[in-house]
């Protein structure tokens, strides 16, 4: 048992006569480790991108709600009346009349 541990620690399995099969396994495991690290890095980048886009969506949604509130304020009759009074235009005292156009093709 002790002799086997010492041979592993000294690296005899890498320099012995049949070490080619050991090197193949070591290289294969190393390639798998590199692929795993690359995959993990790619997943982390996607998580950061999703978090950034989520924050951007929240900001845009709050800006939309703010602009919609301002639009509702601008569309109110009292606001339009106040702006038009500043320009010298007031509300008509006579109600509008409906114009009906009769066609000649009866």
pLDDT digits (tens, 9 = 90+) for 29-69: 999 999 999 999 999 999 999 999 999 999 999 999 999 99
Distance of CA 21 to the CA centre of its chain: 47
Residues of the chain with pLDDT > 70, as a percent, come to 99
Distance of CA 75 to the CA centre of its chain: 33
Q: Higher-confidence residue: 59 or 15?
A: 59
Residue 40: the pLDDT is 97
Residue 19: the pLDDT is 74
Q: Which of 2, 26, 1 is nearest to 13 (CA)?
A: 26
Cα–Cα distance for residue pair 55/61, rounded to 1 Å: 10
């Amino acid at each position: 048992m002790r002799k086997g541990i010492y041979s592993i620690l000294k690296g005899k399995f890498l320099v012995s006569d049949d070490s080619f099969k050991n090197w193949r396994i070591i290289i294969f495991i190393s390639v798998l480790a590199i692929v795993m690290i690359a995959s993990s890095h790619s997943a982390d980048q996607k998580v950061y991108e999703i978090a950034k886009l989520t924050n951007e969506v929240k900001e845009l949604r709050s800006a939309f709600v703010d602009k919609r509130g301002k639009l509702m304020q601008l569309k109110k009759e009292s606001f339009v009346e106040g702006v038009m009074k500043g320009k010298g235009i007031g509300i008509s005292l006579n109600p509008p009349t409906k114009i009906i156009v009769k066609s000649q093709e009866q």
